[in-house]
Amino acid sequence: MLFERAAMFLEPTPRTTPDEWAAANRVYPETAGIPGPRDPWLTGYKVLFARMVAAGDHPRVVDVSGAQMGKTDTTLDIIGHRLDQKPAPILYVGPSKDFVSDQFEPRLMALLDEARSLKNKVIRGRRMKKTLKWVAGVKVRLGYAGSSTSLKSDPAGLAIIDEYDEMVANIKGQGDPLGLVEARGETYSDFVTAITSTPSRGVVETYIDPESGLEFFKVGEADEIESPIWRVWQEGTRHHFAWPCPQCGEFFVPMRKHLKWPKGSTPTEAKESAYIECPSCHGVIEEHHRAEMRARGRHVAPGQKIVDGEVVGDDNGSSTFSMWTSGLVTPFRTIGERAEALLRATISGEDDKIQTVVNAGFGELYAAGGGGDLPEWREVLKHALPYKSGTVPRDAVRMVLGVDVQKRCLYYVIRAFGARATSWKIASGILYGETDQDEVWDDLRDLILTPVDGLYIEKALIDSGFRPDKPEAGSEHRVYEFCRQMSWIAQPTKGVATAQQPYRVSKVEVKPSGKKASYSINLVLVNTDYFKSLVHSRLMIPMGNHGAFYLPEDASEDYARQLVSEARVVTRGSRPEWVLRSKQNHFLDCEALCAVAGHVLNVQRIPPGTARDWGGEEPEKPKDKPRQRNDDEPDDPAPKPSGPSSGSLRSRFSGHSRRVIRQ
């Protein structure tokens, strides 16, 4: 027996890839879900990940995908292949001690027992421990994110970090787990860190790659992405798994947006009727198509393209090889099961349930509120009509202003209302200047008093919701002083998270700095949930209906993005919360204040058919049809409001372009 083991160590092992090694050496027992020889190509979308780890050409190899996609078996292929082909110490790091002991370690032992070429290379007995194995003369150490000691104990030639997003950001003050793990490989020139995880929260968009015509995820803003694995992934080559449509043959990257079911379906009905829609030909892709599509699928990076089923071109050359695969690809869950889970979570309205399905079921980032009916910014721009910023359509009869106060500027939106609260955005922009100084407030006064197409602002609401933890917030005392000076038209506001009424007016005593006497002022307390919900509900009203929410044809992308920068989430206690999807949310706050001002003016009671009749020729009435806007069209130019006696707002601010920017 001893001689047989010695001979096995001396016999050269043929060089293979991890998938080839697994197919030749791994055999599942009869108790397994799929007994018999392992078939790595059942989850062929994982083969490239294993091969890139084994190649050693990139110090980091990152795999982002949904749950139940064969990740653990691929990890075991990588470990077994390395121990057999090129033995070196291996460090595996899981998210928790229980995960490592109860889930991964039994799977690792099964690998060592079932793999023909490894059985006799395992040193058993007292040297074998739960978190330490000796195989082919080298250590396989199992660590977890809560133990900095296990991550710093031994050097390693290969490190595997599993479920990175579940790990704590800082391990007992010792730093990020990724940094601790990578420090273990300094003595190995070919050291590789393999990182895998389902993602968590973040805001990211897609775009069409000009080289391939495929839709990819954009690189997101770092401060808008909470998911650690996604931040690491987008630093790399950003390969996406694409497969060919069985109808038209065009490759596309499957995403959650491509999963469809008949409108009005229950979760059970969606399970039976769900399908994937090809973004090219809109063909229906059913369950029986997926096996062949999966087999023909390829990972392709931005800048590359697929020609005759093969990837051509170079990626961006990053030292991190990163790849993403949609949960729609897995053979272990049907299209219908994915649809049922998503619809059931969406109907529940519970944010954590929706996030679990989006992250684990589809491998995508989750933005708060992403499971509801909130329109994205491109849908917002579809509310544009053929009129310019700075002009007022004839059907608009009452005009209001909402102002969000920051430390160094004032954001504003001017909106006009017509029949049954139908509304038109007249202008939006930023008045620049230190808000503890007079100059920017003089600019705001001019803005309020200048008519637009003969129509004057009737109500101006200004946010005074100063908070010490918001360093960019402006001084509430300057807001109060300005509103005291213009009390017939301007009022300060404060948001209230919960209130029985949409708004109420409360008299407050203000004690200004200096020697001035205190004074009383009417403060409008605003139910922010009610009015932000009202703004978003207006975006759902079809064009041409009473209460519709209109934009000028030159409305900017930035304005549209800010309008959907927050999402309403109902917590387990049935308490609504508004969570940020993007830090730039000022125009949403302004629009909410415009909605309050309109409510105060009772604009929902304006009779149908009401229109202004001041002199001049009757202008052509805008058609209630949204203008088609190109994605590459520039933001709207500076609006040009005008009045019969005061000249344009642009002329009012001539010489002050440094402080006044229109959007």
Q: Model confidence over 366-405: pLDDT tens digits?
A: 876 554 445 678 889 999 999 999 999 999 999 999 999 9
Element (H, E) at 403: strand 398-405
Distance (Å, whole) CA 190 – CA 86: 11
Model confidence at 629: pLDDT above 70: no
Instruction: Tell me how crowded residue 325 is: count the other CB atoms within 10 A of its CB.
Output: 27
pLDDT tens digits for range 266-320: 999 999 999 999 999 999 999 999 999 999 999 999 999 999 999 999 999 999 9
Instruction: Tell me how crowded residue 264 is: count the other CB atoms within 10 A of its CB.
Output: 7
Model confidence at 254: pLDDT above 80: yes
Model confidence at 420: pLDDT above 60: yes
Element (H, E) at 90: strand 90-94
Burial class (CB in 10 A: 0-12, 13-18, 19+), 589: buried
CB contact at 8 A, 375 and 557: no
Q: In Å, how far are 361, 421, 557 from 274, measured between CA atoms? A: 15, 39, 33
Band (498; pLDDT cuts 50, 70, 90): low
Give the three-state DSSP class for 327.
helix
Q: Which of 42-51, 147-156, 255-264 has the lowest mean pLDDT?
A: 147-156
Q: Mark residue 453 as left, alpha or beta (left: phi above 0; alpha: psi -120 to 50; beta: remaining).
A: left
Distance (Å, whole) CA 353 – CA 49: 29
Band (255; pLDDT cuts 50, 70, 90): very high
Those residues with Cβ within 8 angstroms of residue 349's Cβ, 6 or more apart along the chain or in another chain = 372, 570
Q: CA 156: distance to chain centroid?
A: 35
Phi and psi torsions of 355, nearest 5°: -60, -45
pLDDT tens digits for range 506-556: 877 776 654 555 778 889 999 988 899 899 889 888 888 999 999 999 999
pLDDT tens digits for range 77-110: 999 999 999 999 999 999 888 999 999 999 999 9
* Strand ranges in 120-223 using DSSP code E only, listed in sequence order: 122-123, 132-135, 138-144, 158-162, 192-197, 206-208, 215-217
Average pLDDT score over residue span 123-143:
87
Distance (Å, whole) CA 326 – CA 79: 24
60-65 and 36-37 as β-strands: parallel, antiparallel, unpaired?
unpaired
Q: Where are the alpha helices (DSSP H) in 192-289?
A: 228-234, 267-273
Q: What is the pLDDT of residue 650?
A: 30
CB contact at 8 A, 174 and 150: no
Band (640; pLDDT cuts 50, 70, 90): very low
Q: What is the pLDDT of residue 643?
A: 37
Distance (Å, whole) CA 607 – CA 617: 23
Burial class (CB in 10 A: 0-12, 13-18, 19+), 259: buried
Element (H, E) at 356: helix 351-356
Q: In Å, how far are 43, 255, 359 from 290, measured between CA atoms? A: 12, 14, 21
Of the two residues 662 and 221, the one the predictor is more confident about is 221
Q: In Å, how far are 41, 76, 161, 343, 579 from 367, measured between CA atoms? A: 33, 32, 25, 17, 9
CB contact at 8 A, 114 and 22: no
Q: Which residues of 134-173 are buried (b: 16+ CB within 10 A; e: fewer)?
A: bbbebbbbbbbbbbbebbeeeebbbbbbbbbbbbeeebee
The pair of structure tokens assigned to 73 is 């078996």
Domains (range + CATH), the chain: 2-38+68-197 (3.40.50.300), 206-362 (no CATH), 380-631 (3.30.420.240)
Band (145; pLDDT cuts 50, 70, 90): confident
Sign of CA dihedral 25, 28, 29, 30: negative
Model confidence at 122: pLDDT above 70: yes
Closest residue by Cα to residue 369 from 231, 207, 201, 592: 201
Distance (Å, whole) CA 40 – CA 460: 65
Q: What is the pLDDT of residue 628?
A: 47
CB contact at 8 A, 201 and 365: yes
Sign of CA dihedral 28, 30, 36, 40: negative
Element (H, E) at 370: none
Distance (Å, whole) CA 648 – CA 91: 69
Band (161; pLDDT cuts 50, 70, 90): very high
Q: What is the pLDDT of residue 581?
A: 75
Angle, CA of 108, 113 and 116, to the nearest 5°: 115
Of the two residues 15 and 412, the one the predictor is more confident about is 412
Distance (Å, whole) CA 421 – CA 558: 25
Q: What is the pLDDT of residue 658?
A: 29
Element (H, E) at 366: none
Distance (Å, whole) CA 365 – CA 198: 9
Average pLDDT score over residue span 636-663:
34
Check: pTM over 0.75? Answer yes or no.
no
Closest residue by Cα to residue 291 from 34, 40, 42: 42
Average pLDDT score over residue span 323-350:
92
Average pLDDT score over residue span 130-159:
84
Average pLDDT across the chain, whole number: 84
Q: In Å, how far are 135, 210, 386, 388, 550 from 635, measured between CA atoms? A: 62, 22, 15, 13, 17
The pair of structure tokens assigned to 228 is 């650690």
Distance (Å, whole) CA 641 – CA 654: 14
Which range of 8-12, 196-200, 492-496, 643-647 scores highest in mean pLDDT? It is 196-200
Q: Which residues of 425-464 are buried (b: 16+ CB within 10 A; e: fewer)?
A: bbbbbbbbbebeeeebbebbbbbbebbbbebebbbbbbbb
Residues making up the chain, counted from first to last: 663
SS3 content of the chain, % helix, strand, coil (to 5): 30, 25, 45
Average pLDDT score over residue span 43-54:
97
Residue the block writes with tokens 């790399």 = 236
Instruction: Reduce the secondary structure of 580-648 to three states and give it as a string.
Output: ECCCCCHHHHHHHHHHHHHHHCCHHHCCCCCCCCCCCCCCCCCCCCCCCCCCCCCCCCCCCCCCCCCCC
